[in-house]
Amino acid sequence: MEIQCKMIIPSEVNISNREPGDMFYANWLICENGNVHMASKQYNKDWLGKRPPLVVILPNGSSFMVDSYYHNIEGNPEKEGWTVTGEAPNITLTPSINYSPSDRKFGYHGWLKNGVLSEDLEGRKY
């Protein structure tokens, strides 16, 4: 089932009550010098100084930092990240999100297009 994203204010929603599709600004990731912890090259080029980094709750319940860099297969940070277009919550990410915690059973691989999270491309149900 596709999930429409919506903006929330984290301080007003208990962490245990956050739902898939909840999206919020992670102001606490902005350092004193104005840089953002774990920010991708794309965020630093396109969004730094325009908006705080975004987090979305994925269909598997995981928090996913939209503006972070990703790790390659060996776990080393590449500093590259997703290209983000649009205004929150109606954003589009490219490429697809492939979030795989240590237990792949609970991972998520899907699209975030125009503020809608797709079903898992690998057929997982949550």
- pLDDT digit string (tens) for 73-98? 555 556 788 999 999 999 999 999 98
Using the predicted structure, report yes or no on whether residue 31 has a pLDDT greater than 60. Answer: yes
Contact 48/37 with Cβ under 8 angstroms? no
* DSSP character string of 81-98: E-EEESSTTS-EEES-EE
Domain boundaries, the chain: 3-117
Q: How many CA atoms lie within 13 A of 59 on its CB side?
A: 24
Reported pTM? 0.87
Contact 124/60 with Cβ under 8 angstroms? yes
- pLDDT digit string (tens) for 44-79? 899 999 999 999 999 999 899 999 887 555 555 567
